[in-house]
């Protein structure tokens, strides 16, 4: 679809929020990589979000929900259709509480680290191991983020989802099949908010655990660089980082993408890196690991978008 046609579908002032066209996705990903999204919509409230979604559906335009772009590689040709940013959906609040447990209502665009911080401040226990994981709560539910034996699903009671037909439905956590870094949330579904259940504990105790996990992460992962987190999933019983390290890949570089010398399962964008170099490095690393150990690595990061058109 041509830009003008898209602009006709989304004339200015139609919704509360913003709609941009040909928005560079490198400004919205932790890797600082990604070509332009045809449409980049930033709804300000739920009714605007639902209306944008409806308009997209009516015109057969695919919608891609964006959290904070941290586990994501957007290809150099950008994203066909619309990216919907949830940056206005960040509320965290208490639904109910007794002497043992608290139930929280959390909007999908809330940063996971804001939630962890909120839990520390109030002595809520159950997500300590998620300390330091970048991204939003919606993204963490979709990919069942986890570390140190904690997983997002363990704190989840229910989620509200906007499905592809445009209706909002509430689903209990038991109704979603979670796996290692995966969930049964479909790619054309959009998580709006979630109910979490955490245990009420001593603030000091929760805080100590979180500090410890943060320290471990700072020591073993390149947290200050432009990365998308772990690139490959851990094969059952093994560590992808260790396998990549043993295959001699630390420091290997294609263009401006480099395998971290600190933790080999992180690829760093050293500057103006491209998605095609990132994918080539993934292929090279995958091949070396297969040759060295016979293990086939599977991507953990989500790869979306189109290749750059040539000619």
Among the listed ranges 7-15, 103-111, 229-237, 302-310, the one in contact with ligand EPU (CB under 6 A) is: 229-237
Name the residue nearer to ligand EPU (CB basis): 34 or 146: 146
In the complex, what is the shortest distance from the CB of residue 75 to ligand EPU, in angstroms, rounded to a whole number? 20
User: Is 136 a binder of ligand EPU (CB under 6 A)?
Assistant: no
In the complex, what is the shortest distance from the CB of residue 137 to ligand EPU, in angstroms, rounded to a whole number? 16
User: Is 220 a binder of ligand EPU (CB under 6 A)?
Assistant: yes
Count of positions on this chain that bind ligand EPU (CB under 6 A): 16
User: Is 48 a binder of ligand EPU (CB under 6 A)?
Assistant: no
User: Is 239 a binder of ligand EPU (CB under 6 A)?
Assistant: yes
Task: Give strand pairing partners of 111.
Answer: 136
146 SS3 class: strand
User: Is 293 a binder of ligand EPU (CB under 6 A)?
Assistant: no
Strand runs labelled E in the chain:
17-24, 36-43, 63-66, 72-74, 79-85, 92-97, 101-107, 124-125, 146-147, 150-151, 156-162, 168-172, 190-200, 253-254, 257-259, 267-269, 302-304
In the complex, what is the shortest distance from the CB of residue 301 to ligand EPU, in angstroms, rounded to a whole number? 8
Among the listed ranges 51-59, 96-104, 230-238, 283-291, the one in contact with ligand EPU (CB under 6 A) is: 230-238
Q: 150: how many CB neighbours lie within 10 A of its CB?
A: 19
User: Is 206 a binder of ligand EPU (CB under 6 A)?
Assistant: no
| Of positions 50, 116, 190, 264, contacts ligand EPU by CB under 6 A | 264
Cβ pair 59, 9 in contact under 8 A: yes
Task: From 237, 239, 253, 238, select the one nearest 285 (Cα to Cα).
Answer: 253
Report the distance separating Cα 256 and Cα 276, nearest Å: 11
| Of positions 241, 273, 286, 305, contacts ligand EPU by CB under 6 A | 241
User: Is 277 a binder of ligand EPU (CB under 6 A)?
Assistant: no
Q: 194: how many CB neighbours lie within 10 A of its CB?
A: 26
User: Is 114 a binder of ligand EPU (CB under 6 A)?
Assistant: no
User: Is 147 a binder of ligand EPU (CB under 6 A)?
Assistant: yes
Task: From 85, 75, 109, 76, select the one nearest 28 (Cα to Cα).
Answer: 85
Phi-psi region for residue 17, left (φ > 0), alpha (ψ -120 to 50) or beta? left
Binding positions for ligand EPU, rule: CB under 6 A: 147-148, 220, 229-230, 233-234, 239-242, 245, 263-265, 300
């Amino acid at each position: 679809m041509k830009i003008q046609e898209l602009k006709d579908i989304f004339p200015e002032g139609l919704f509360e929020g913003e709609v941009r066209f040909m928005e560079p996705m490198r400004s919205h990903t932790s890797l600082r990589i990604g070509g332009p999204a045809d449409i980049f919509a930033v709804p300000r409230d739920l009714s605007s979000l639902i209306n944008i979604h409806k308009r997209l559906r009516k015109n057969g335009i695919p919608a891609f929900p964006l959290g904070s772009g941290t586990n994501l590689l957007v290809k150099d040709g950008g994203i066909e259709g619309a990216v919907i940013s949830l940056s206005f959906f960040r509320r965290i609040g208490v639904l109910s509480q007794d002497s043992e447990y608290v139930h929280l209502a959390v909007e999908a665009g809330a940063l996971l680290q804001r939630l962890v911080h909120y839990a520390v401040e109030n002595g809520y226990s159950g997500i300590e191991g998620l300390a330091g994981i970048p991204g939003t709560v919606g993204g963490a539910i979709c990919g069942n983020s986890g570390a140190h034996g904690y997983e997002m699903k363990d704190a989840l009671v229910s989620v509200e989802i906007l499905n592809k037909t445009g209706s909002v439905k509430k689903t209990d956590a038991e109704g979603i099949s979670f796996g290692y870094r995966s969930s049964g949330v479909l790619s054309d579904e959009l998580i709006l908010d979630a109910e979490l259940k955490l245990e009420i504990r001593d603030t000091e105790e929760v805080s100590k655990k979180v500090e410890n996990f943060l320290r471990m992460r700072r020591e073993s992962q390149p947290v200050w660089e432009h990365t998308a987190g772990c690139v490959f999933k851990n094969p059952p019983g093994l560590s992808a980082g260790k396998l990549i390290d043993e295959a001699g890949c630390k420091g290997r570089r294609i263009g401006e993408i480099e395998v971290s010398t600190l933790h080999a399962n992180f690829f760093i964008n050293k500057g103006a890196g491209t998605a095609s170099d990132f994918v080539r490095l993934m292929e090279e690393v995958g091949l070396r690991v297969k040759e060295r150990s016979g293990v086939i690595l599977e991507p953990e990061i989500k790869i979306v978008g189109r290749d750059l058109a040539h000619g």
